[in-house]
Amino acid sequence: MTTKLAVFASGSGSNFQALQEAIERGELHATIELVITDKPGAFVVTRANNFGIPVVELAPKAFENKVAYEQKVIELLEAHDVDWVILAGYMRLVGETLLTAYENRIINIHPSLLPSFPGKDAIGQAMDHGVKVTGVTVHYVDAGMDTGKIIAQGAVDVVPGDREQTEARVHKLEHALYTNTLQQLFKQTFA
């Protein structure tokens, strides 16, 4: 049985692309059925189109409230028979409506060693604090900001004073760690 995923992203979508490429290499036994972005026009839309994966651009502002927005999201997930929701640079807190519908089936990746540096610009926060080692965390999503149960972590040496290189290291690790962690998780769940 193949695990069916929806990827949620708000920006570039490099993690989405890394997952899709891992699927195509046979390293992740899943299919990305749908990409949802809350930022119409985000670069992830171009990436999804390049792979021929359905993408829905859904501006939350177009809905009466968060519940209505998430109900629409659930409708799309159900129409595509989605098993797991994979957040990859989705810059929005998930509300109770979606959390309840996909309980323990929503995963996020965050570019720090949580619980250090949750929220926006985690790499910048880490560098401002002068930490020598930062990293990547894959975790279950709950109602808080990057507070859900931790599934996997990996460490990255900060390149002092060089944000670009540090970021490149973090993203490289993200792409590998997300693939490996999800593959393990799906194997366990359906074993």
Residue 169 CA to residue 1 CA, distance in Å, equals 34
Q: Site residues for ligand GRF, window 110-129 (CB under 6 A)?
A: 110-111
Amino acid in the structure at residue 96: E
Q: Where are the beta strands (DSSP E) in 20-69?
A: 30-37, 55-57
Told to check if 14 binds ligand GRF by CB under 6 A, we report: yes
Alpha carbon 111 to its chain centroid, in Å, reads 11
Of 53-61, 76-84, 103-111, 151-159, the segment contacting ligand GRF by CB under 6 A is 103-111
Nearest residue to the partner ligand GRF, using Cβ: 89
User: Between residues 18 and 73, which has the closer beta carbon with respect to ligand GRF?
Assistant: 18
Q: Which is nearer to ligand GRF, 9 or 77 (CB)?
A: 9
**Residues 16, 119: Cα–Cα separation, whole Å:** 20
Half-sphere exposure for 73 (CA within 13 Å, toward CB): 30
CB of 156 to ligand GRF, least distance (A): 12
Q: Is 171 a catalytic residue?
A: no
Calculate the CA 42 to chain-centre distance. 15
Residue 148 in contact with ligand GRF, rule: CB under 6 A: no
Q: Which amino acid is at 49?
A: N
Both tokens of 94, joined, read 């998930």
- Of positions 34, 35, 77, 88, contacts ligand GRF by CB under 6 A: 88
Which of 174, 181, 182, 186 touches ligand GRF (CB under 6 A)? 174
First and final C-alpha spacing in the chain: 10
Q: Is the dihedral of CA 25, 166, 154, 44 positive or negative?
A: negative
Out of 110, 129, 171, 175, the active site residue is 110
Contact with ligand GRF (CB under 6 A): which of 3, 5, 8, 15? 15
Which of the residues are catalytic?
A: 110
Q: Give the residues lining the site for ligand GRF (CB under 6 A).
A: 9, 11-15, 88-89, 109-111, 174
